Amino acid sequence: MSAEPSSGVAIVTGAVRGIGRAVCLELARAGYRVVANYRGDDELAQSLVSEIAQEGGHAVALRADVTVADDVAGLIEGTLSTFGRLDVLVNNAGITRDTLLMRMSETDWDAVLTTNLKGAFLCSKAAIRPMMRQRSGSIINLTSVVGLVGNAGQTNYAAAKAGLVGFTKSLAKEVGSRGITVNAVAPGFIETRLTDVLPDELKGTIQTQIPLGRMGRPEDVAGVVAFLASPAARYITGAVISVDGGLFMAT
């Protein structure tokens, strides 16, 4: 028996490529009307909207920098004026600026913390107002296994992603009584622009260590995000679900 298609509305930040794009497609296929947030690439954003429309779904692309409070306010207002409600927020926008701590500039530190952590704060704060009015909603944060186990060369990214785990659990406790769930998904190594930059030798080594024998695909993560957004996950909140092919199993 297949699940009823959703009539809900979902915002996905940083949506035009990689995991965000796959999440938009997956949510649109599940029936959500999708707001694909992007920062700069109009062409990619429009191609995503067209792809969703071709599949019979509904989507709009809204430009906003998730690190700028006024932009985020515009994103939520734009969503409400277009679709009249907001059911799901996927905090997906993220960047890396990898280097050893000894060489890390304050700019690299601030950029990564601001995009990955403050961006989720600004978007969640703006999104929970309409969700509280509806007394329902779901927020899903893209953290990383790096935030759980650490990684040399990524102190800024690991701190931001570990921060997102604390943020997820704390907000889950704040808004649970209003019918809003807050969860995190922690991908391992997924084939996107973020991991394209890794040397082939390192990717080969990582691959041999993954029990499922391959790097992840954006669709592997998108399915879990869509599950957390769905009624099937209604009794899950404050959870962090790893999607890493078994690379980092909890002991």
| Residue 65: partners with Cβ closer than 8 Å, 6 or more residues away | 39, 71
Note whether 27 binds ligand NAD by CB under 6 A: no
HSE (CB half, 13 Å, CA atoms) of 211?
7
Cα radius of gyration rounded to whole Å, the chain? 17
157 as an active site residue: the answer is yes
- Residues 70-99 vs ligand NAD: string with x where CB under 6 A? ----------------------xxxx----
Binding segment (CB under 6 A) for ligand NAD, from list 10-18, 51-59, 99-107, 121-129: 10-18
Say whether residue 197 binds ligand NAD (CB under 6 A). Answer: no
Ramachandran angles phi, psi of 154, nearest 5°: -135, 40
CB of 71 to ligand NAD, least distance (A): 8
103 belongs to the binding site for ligand NAD (CB under 6 A): no
Where do we find the tokens 């907000």? Answer: 171
Shortest distance in whole angstroms from residue 228 CB to ligand NAD: 14
CA-CA distance, 38 to 15, in Å (whole number)? Answer: 6
Size of the site for ligand NAD (CB under 6 A): 26
Following DSSP, what letter does each residue of 43-87 receive, concatenated? Answer: HHHHHHHHHHHHTT-EEEEEE--TT-HHHHHHHHHHHHHHHS---
Catalytic residue among 32, 38, 157, 235: 157
Closest CA to 41 of 21, 26, 57: 21
Choices 74-82, 189-197, 202-210, 227-235 (CB under 6 A): range interacting with ligand NAD = 189-197
- Measured CA to CA, the distance from residue 106 to residue 72 in angstroms comes to 25
Binding to ligand NAD, residues 40-59 (CB under 6 A) = none
Q: Is 17 in the site for ligand NAD (CB under 6 A)?
A: yes
- Tell me if 182 contacts ligand NAD by CB under 6 A: no
Catalytic residue list: 157
Site residues for ligand NAD per CB under 6 A = 13-14, 16-20, 39, 65-67, 92-95, 115, 119, 142, 144, 187, 189-190, 192-195
